[in-house]
Each structure stands twice: as structure tokens, then as C-alpha cells.
Amino acid sequence: MKTIISIAVLTLAISVQSFSSSYEEAMAANLQKISNLKTVAEFTALASQFERIANAEPGKWHPRYYAAYCYLNPVTNIEMSVDDKHKLLDLAQAQMDILLKSFQSESEIYALQSLIYQMRITDMSKGFKYTSMSFDALEQAEKLNSNNPRVYYLRGTNTFHMPKAFGGGKEKAKALFEKAAGLFENQKQENTFEPAWGSDHNKQMLALCDIADE
């Protein structure tokens, strides 16, 4: 009897280990693909793959986070109509809504939510609403992790594009980009799935702060 129990326990342990290994391999393979994608179709296809992993692993936030990230990425990097941008942002938001219900203690989720709000500002009429929502999300992200560099990078981009009359401008944005740069440099990822985006664009924005207005 003890032998049967021991075999059952061992079989279960091997099964769990194999499933965990399969998850990590699938995540790693998909993450490697992101930097090579060039079209909306490619990004949405990869988002669907992350969604499938998320559905199989409801206790992990990274898969659905990257599904949202894949829907969002083309909006920031590929030319498209305003309507198409909002369609992709709607898909990203659908993933975020699920994440925000189940993982309310993850700073990175709120930081990505802030970026989605930023990308909603496709005309002047949306500026006040989504800028305010973006800052609110960043406040929550900062409360959860004050060393998250994306908090200050995103706050810097908001501030950079905000009129000086409302507390924006290059000078105030520069201090935020500088803080983000230091945190990016010292950031230690707990695992290979941790978000690492924002550093390169933060450097570009910091350089823009030193260019005199014409």
C-alpha cells in the first residue's frame, strides 16, 4: 500500500514539474518573438497565444499582461487609423480588466494600464480625461512599487506633452526621465518574464528634454 501511495505521489510530482516546465518554455518562446514582429496580424496572433496560456494558468499574471502588451504594441509603433488604434486598445483593455480584478497588488499591471490610457489620447477632446486616468494608474503603480522605473518614465512622457500652464513641460519631465533612467539601470528582474520595456524610449525622451525649443 505504501508503495502504491509513493508511486502516486511521485507521478503527481513529475506531472506538476512537467506542467510548470511546459508553461515556462511556452512563455519564453513567445516572449522571444515580440521583438521580431512587424505587423498588426503578427501581434494579434501572438496575443492570442498568450491568452491561451493565461486561460490555462489563471493564477499567473504574466501571460495575460503580455497579451495586452501585444495588442498595445502596434498602436505605439505602426501607422494606422484612429479607429483601428481604439479597436486594438479595446482588446488590450479587455485583458487588463481581467488582470485588475485578480491581481491588484502588481505595480506593473497599473503601469501598463497607464500607458493604455495615454494611447487613448488621439485628439484634444480626450486629453484631460485620459491624462487624469493615466496619472491615477501611475499613483497606484508607485504605491505598490516605488522603484518601478516605468512609473517615472510614463509620468515623464505625460508631463513632457502637458502644457506648462498645467504643470507640464520639458524641465519637469526631465527630472522624471532622469529618475527612471537610474532605476532602469539598477533594475533587477526576479525572473525572465518580468517586464523590461521603456528604457530605450526613456533615453530618447531624456535627450529631447535637452533640445532647445525653436
Residue 20 is predicted with a pLDDT of 56
Domain locations along the chain: 34-103, 128-214
The CA–CA distances, whole Å, from 111 to 53, 65, 68, 156, 210 equal: 22, 11, 12, 13, 26
Residue 135 is predicted with a pLDDT of 94
The per-residue pLDDT for range 73-123, each reduced to its tens digit, is 999 989 999 999 999 999 999 999 999 999 999 999 999 999 999 999 999
Cell numbers given for 156? 515623464
**DSSP codes of every residue in 123-167:** SGGGHHHHHHHHHHHHHHHHHH-TT-HHHHHHHHHHHHHS-GGGT
Q: pTM higher than 0.95, yes or no? A: no
Low pLDDT (below 50) residues in the chain: 2-19, 214
Distance CA 160, CA 139 (A): 17
Do 152 and 176 meet the contact criterion of CB atoms below 8 Å apart? yes
Cell numbers given for 107? 505595480
